Amino acid sequence: MRILVCKNYDEMSKKAAQIISSQVILKSDSILGLATGSTPIGMYKNLVDMYNKGEIDFSEVKTFNLDEYYQLPKDNIQSYYYFMHKNLFNHINIKKENINIPNGMNGDVEIECASYDEAIKNIGGVDIQVLGIGNNAHIGFNEPNDAFIKNTHLVDLKESTIEANSRFFDSIDDVPKKAVTMGIGSIFASKKIMLLASGECKAEAVYNTVYGDVTPQVPSSILKFHNDVILIIDEAAATKLNKEDYKLI
């Protein structure tokens, strides 16, 4: 696990966008695994800027998003479908048919989950998966649990996640209680993983990811077992790490 620490959120966002851009320049038909939440918004802004300057072409890129709320319509402004279009897809030349986001509205959620994993497998796996991290160390919506769940699945969100995400909704009662998320196995099928974290509220989750035991109670801890993981975090998220364990950039 390599750890790069950037001065602040803007620098983290720039670095993350540069890594995605290098991936797409090296392989124009890259498969990108994408994430939602506050953390990657700056990275998406940088990617849109690069696209506007003609520095990156998404015409052959395919994307798979990590997760989606269960039974929240696509046109709801809190859906991850809406988020991705607002922050990235509406501003770049990606083809609609190349965008994949779990459909939380599918009446048969088991079929939805199985076909999502099948689609990732059929395409040969994701080239680089972007992850945020929850205050409780969730990745995607793989919440602290008694076991790691391998495949894409329907999950009950933890109270702490519902509370954290309520900042985007009018009231906490409006936050969906379930979501469809890629499982740990689906995430691990990715060739590279880039985890982003910003702010002191993530420092403990980052500490546990780097130094803690691998346990499903700290879902991100399993990243230690993947052979190509990079953490791009800001100084605030790195406050609990030993300086010799990361590179300050």
| Binding region for ligand PGA (CB under 6 A) | 37-39, 132-134
Which residue is closest to ligand PGA by CB?
A: 37
Active site residue 118: no
Active site residue 138: yes
Nearer CB in complex with ligand PGA: 96/167 = 167
Active site residue 153: no
Least Å distance, CB 41 to ligand PGA, is: 8
State the catalytic residue, choosing from 46, 68, 138, 235: 138
Nearer CB in complex with ligand PGA: 39/129 = 39
How many degrees, rounded to 5, is the angle at CA 34 between CA 32 and CA 246?
90
Least Å distance, CB 139 to ligand PGA, is: 7
State the catalytic residue, choosing from 127, 143, 234, 235: 143
Least Å distance, CB 244 to ligand PGA, is: 27
State the catalytic residue, choosing from 87, 136, 142, 165: 136
Nearer CB in complex with ligand PGA: 37/176 = 37
Least Å distance, CB 13 to ligand PGA, is: 12
State the catalytic residue, choosing from 65, 67, 127, 234: 67
Nearer CB in complex with ligand PGA: 38/93 = 38
Half-sphere exposure of 71 (CA within 13 A, CB side): 11
Catalytic positions, written as ranges: 67, 136, 138, 143
